[in-house]
Amino acid sequence: MGIISSGILQTNLNGYILKNPIITASGTYGYNNEYSDFVNVSTLGAIVTKAITLEPREGNKGIRIAETKAGMINSIGLENVGIERFLEEKLKVLKDENIEFIMNIAGSTIREYVELAKICDENKIKAIEVNISCPNVKAGCLEFGTEENSLYELVNSVRNNYRGILIVKLTPNVTSIEKIAMAAQKAGADAISAINTLKGTQIKINCQNGEINKTIISGGYSGKGIKPIAVGAVMRIAQVVNIPIIGIGGIETLEDVLEFFAAGAEAVEIGTANFTHPNISETIIKELEEYVKINGFKDIEELKKELRS
């Protein structure tokens, strides 16, 4: 688990400087150093924390995760320790181990988001990702993310109470993701992350002696099956906004990362693949640095420019 010290992968997200563009997605990497047995977490561009709410949440009951042939469906329901315990227990580890992090925040009302934003500002949290697009909770998140006026009001309210880097995570479950992205930019977002999970359902059927038994799980579908949708969304968003985009969806290889760069992403978040290949992020960072050097690019920015030409 070698330290990556070269500066050729340095990435600028509207003033938020990362050592490299590889980030781990919310809900797939815990709160801080849970993956330290597999990688040196401090070498990553950043981790995005589990979604944090004002109060602790137990999450959804019943089946929470179902594997599919091309990914997984999750119905976790934003289970988390709440902002108070995060600040008391989790934040110290992040600081002590020099782990760059983005706090993902979620709520059911604008007031809840604003309170979280104020707390993050008071505690000098450098960057937050506003989760307005979670499809597996009964209230909040998705409702804000599917209509541009509601999204604008929410993001603008957060912006007025938070001075750090504000990233807005968009849902693909909309008619026009371009309109949603433009509303986020107009409201004061510093960057956009896209996409969150799609709505999905799996039905497992078991038949014994003519009696049918069904197991149904609905929630957020993620994994390699959504990559073409995610790449297309990033490309469309890049045509209508001038703030950085963080691409998310089905990333498993260096080639996937390059595809998102070509579509217009400045950085990427790796999610579902962390569960099956817990060292994948560090592996891709090393492969990306080698790719830049071997192909004679000065740095990652020159590579991105060539990919988009």
Tokens 């047995």 belong to residue: 37
Tokens 């999970």 belong to residue: 197
| Nearest alpha-carbon partner for 220 in 108, 126, 135, 116 | 135
| CA quadruple 136, 25, 248, 259: dihedral sign | negative
- 3-class SS of residue 206: strand
The pair of three-digit structure tokens given for residue 97, joined into one six-digit string: 């181990």
Q: How many CB atoms lie within 10 A of CB 211?
A: 7
120 is catalytic: no
Integer-rounded Cα Rg, in Å, for the chain is 19
- Asked if residues 194 and 225 have their Cβ atoms less than 8 Å apart, the reply is no
Residues 120, 134, 141, 207: which is the catalytic one?
Answer: 134
Q: How many CB atoms lie within 10 A of CB 4?
A: 20
Single-letter amino acid code for the residue at 226? I
Catalytic residues: 134
